[in-house]
Amino acid sequence: MASFKLLVGLGNPGTEYDNTRHNAGAQYIKALAQQSQCLLRYEKKFSGEFGKVSIGGKECFLLIPTTYMNLSGSAVQALCQFYKVLPQEILVIHDELDLPPGTAKLKVGGGHGGHNGLKDIISKLGNNRDFGRLRIGIGHPGHASKVAGYVLTKAPSTEFLKIEHAIDESLRYTDDIVAGNLNNVMNTLHSFKA
């Protein structure tokens, strides 16, 4: 398994979207940057907040696209072209409707499952789906018609705390994830439930 060079946290820009369910991926990157004492700065050429960090002795790029969710791919594409990052060296951290709050799962490849951020990244990478995904569970509102409003609102405090716990738990495995030791991580992270 290849190691990861670029960690992308998905979300929507603007204070009105802070701590909404759809911003779980961005929340992870902000927490990782803080933990690594890395200052994320807006980088125009990457259309996002960007930073460089050393994880397990390996230089990694952190990115939170500041485009809206459904245009996340253009930020990822720009950074990949500039730094010659391959799709299999990318880990995208995003909210996942199909997992309950308080859980997180790791996988490589697959479809977009209706997630507009993933859909745009797959498209901008030339339909390549070989990147890694860290999926932060946010739960499902119960009906497809309610999804848009659900992901763009803040979770009630009990749910929000569970999402935060799942992010914190995932952060504990960042060194192993970046190094490509995914099986070890999956064995423990996948059984975690806040």
Binding-site residues from annotation: 17, 68, 70, 116
| Helices 116-124 and 72-83: angle between axes, nearest 10 degrees | 40
Determine the angle formed by the axes of helices 157-171 and 24-35, rounding to 10 degrees. Answer: 50
User: What own/partner pairs with CB < 8 Å and gap ≥ 24 does 174-177 have?
Assistant: 174/32, 174/55, 175/55, 175/56, 176/56, 177/4, 177/91, 177/106, 177/132, 177/134
Cα(131)–Cα(40) distance, rounded to whole angstroms?
A: 23
Point out the residues that are catalytic: 22
User: Measured in whole angstroms, how far is the alpha carbon of residue 120 from the centre of its chain?
Assistant: 14
Contact call for residues 34 and 90 (beta carbons, < 8 A): no
Give the three-class secondary structure for 8: strand
Question: Phi/psi of residue 27, each to 5°?
Answer: -60, -40
Annotated binding site for tRNA: 17, 68, 70, 116
